[in-house]
Amino acid sequence: MSNSSYHVLSELEIIEYVRKIPGLFSENAQLICKEIGDGNLNLVFRIIENGSSGKSVIIKQALPYARVVGESWPLTLDRARIESEALMIQNSICPGLVPKVYHYDKELALTVMEDLSSHIIMRKGLISRNRYPYFAKHIGTFLARTLFLTSDLALDHQDKKQKVVQFINPELCKITEDLVFTDPYYDAKTNQFNPLIKEVIEEIWGHGELKLEITKLKEKFLTHAQALIHGDLHTGSIMVTETDTKVFDPEFSFYGPMGFDIGAVIANLLLNFCSHEGHTLDQEERLQYQDYLLNTVEEIWIVFEEEFRILWKGKASEPYASIQGYEDDYILRLLQDSLGYAGCKMMRRVIGLAHVSDLESINDPKLRAKGERLALAIGQQLVLKRETAQKIGDLTSLVRYVKNQ
Ligand code: SR1
Ligand code: MG
């Protein structure tokens, strides 16, 4: 099975392939396969057993190029290895919060994993203004555990360096370096934006202080091998039910700054917050849902910090972890980094390539512009004011202040 050389599998080949994996389906099972991927990079197949067993799995196959652009944008297949190895580490650190991996095939660059068909993509849930009462607890725990336990705080420094090598991911990092930290801040060809907000974007392109701060955040992304981060933790990489949360799609994983993951979650909740300015709904309902989103942001940080401090007490192996003031200083720097990365990630989704459906689903460009302007205003302030934040309430107060301007 794993000696075949790479080619893109058809739905029929996928069925034949999955049949041969021991322990998944019975020999004579009638299998139905459908390609269901709607992401930017890969093919995703769902294979369901016809009948009453209800068994199903997902196969994700990497294409040798970025699906969203086509063959003119070649992309390493090694991202499938990164993804499956990251998922296995996350499974051992956070069982139940990521899909199970059943099989990985290096040659075909594919991973067979748990089907989460009873869950929905969180971004879709938020667009429908659903509420997820356990999400903050789940994602705060996921962030604290994956980030702390893969860092120099918990690992032997030699083992950690081996992991840095294992997860070297230059091509996927380059996508982030370009699309998050570089292209949105000048008149790049990759940018795509609503012409109605061009004047705000031109102000950003000419804003020297902002660009300096973004450059500092980019430098940290390039150089700060702090923990094994997910690397693309937006609400399209999270599946939810009312009571369950699963984080998937860690193909952008590498050793990078912890705040990049925390900031990604916050940014995507805030992008959803901004989108409700443009969706047609009752004012009271809008305010209540926006409050829910800001409360969720606060709760995520509170859970994260609590869990991180518990791990620091119980699992830190770094001898200097007990130096007076180090823990508080470390966590404050994480908070400030998270604000900065959240800001960058909000702006890239409005100015750059690859937007978010929270905003894109607003058909009227004038109404969409309302949400987009707010996202750019909040994004800028998060970057510029990040080092004034001392507690999570400073972030949510800043968002409220900018919104009420
Ligand atoms: C060409 S890939 C565009 C974006 O999709 C992924 O989800 C990442 O966010 C990337 O920046
Ligand atoms: Mg993805």
For residue 353, the CA-to-ligand 1 centroid distance in Å is 8
27-31, 154-158, 245-249, 253-257: which has the minimum mean pLDDT? 27-31
Contact (Cβ atoms closer than 8 angstroms) between residue 193 and residue 373: no
Residues 257-278 have a mean pLDDT of 98
Q: Pick the more confident residue, 26 or 337.
A: 337
pLDDT tens figures, 202-212: 999 999 999 99
| Mean pLDDT computed over 63-82 | 94
Q: Sorting pLDDT into bands at 50, 70 and 90, what band is 68?
A: confident
Taking CA atoms only, the protein residue closest to ligand 1 atom 8 is: 232
Mean of pLDDT values over 7-15: 96
Structure tokens at 404: 């009420």
DSSP three-state, residue 289 = helix
Q: What is the pLDDT of residue 2?
A: 44
Mean pLDDT over residues 374-385, rounded?
98
The confidence score (pLDDT) of residue 232 equals: 98
What contacts 283, CB < 8 A, 6 or more positions away? none
Tell me which residue has its CA closest to atom 6 in ligand 1. Answer: 40
Instruction: Give how far the C-alpha of residue 183 lies from the chain's centroid of Cα atoms, to the nearest Å.
Output: 19
Considering only CA atoms, which of 34, 26, 84 is closest in space to residue 58? 34
User: Which residue CA neighbors atom 2 of ligand 1 most closely?
Assistant: 40
State which amino acid sits at residue 331: I
Per residue in 79-114, pLDDT (tens digit) is 999 999 999 999 999 999 999 999 999 999 999 999
The residue count of the chain comes to 405
Is the per-residue pLDDT at 335 higher than 70? yes
Distance, C-alpha 54 to centroid of its chain: 29
Q: Taking residues 345-350, report their average pLDDT.
A: 98
CA–CA distance from 238 to each of 113, 175, 235, 356, 380 (Å)?
15, 20, 5, 14, 26
Reading the block at residue 218, the tokens are 């980019």
φ/ψ of 18, rounded to 5, equals -70, -30
Region class of 317: left (phi > 0), else alpha (psi between -120 and 50), else beta = alpha
Q: 345 CA to middle of ligand 1, Å?
A: 11
Mutation pick for ligand 1 pocket among 38, 41, 69, 351 (CB with most ligand atoms within 8 Å): 41
Position 117 pLDDT exceeds 90: no
Work out the angle at residue 320's Cα, subtended by the Cα atoms of residues 317 and 324, and round it to the nearest 5 degrees: 125
As a whole number of angstroms, the distance between CA 278 and CA 182 comes to 27
In 3-state terms, what secondary structure has residue 120? strand
Please report the domains of the chain, with CATH numbers, ordered by start residue: 11-114 (3.30.200.20), 120-403 (3.90.1200.10)
Which long-range contacts (C-beta less than 8 Å, at least 24 apart) are formed by 67-73?
67/37, 67/39, 67/40, 67/41, 67/42, 67/43, 68/40, 68/41, 68/353, 68/354
Whether residue 78 contacts residue 104, with contact meaning beta carbons closer than 8 Å, is answered with no
Give yes or no for residue 127 having a pLDDT over 60: yes
Q: Is the ipTM of this complex over 0.85?
A: yes
Would you state the pLDDT for residue 4?
Answer: 54
Q: How far is the CA of 3 from the centre of ligand 1 (A)?
A: 30
C-alpha 16: how far from its chain's center? 32
Beta bridge mates, 74: 65
**What residues does ligand 1 touch, defined as CB less than 6 Å away?**
40-41, 66, 68, 175-176, 179, 232, 354
User: Contact, 346 vs 373, CB < 8 A?
Assistant: no
Residue 1 has pLDDT above 70, yes or no: no
Question: pLDDT band at 281, cuts 50/70/90?
Answer: confident
Q: Token pair of 21, please? A: 């994996």
With cut-offs at 50, 70 and 90, classify the pLDDT of residue 39.
confident
Give me the residue label for tokens 């606060």.
Answer: 298
**pLDDT single digits (tens) 211-259:** 999 999 999 999 999 999 999 999 999 999 999 999 999 999 999 999 9
Confidence grade of residue 334 (pLDDT, cut at 50, 70, 90): very high
In the reported structure, the alpha carbon of residue 227 is separated from the centroid of ligand 2 by a whole-number distance in angstroms of 19
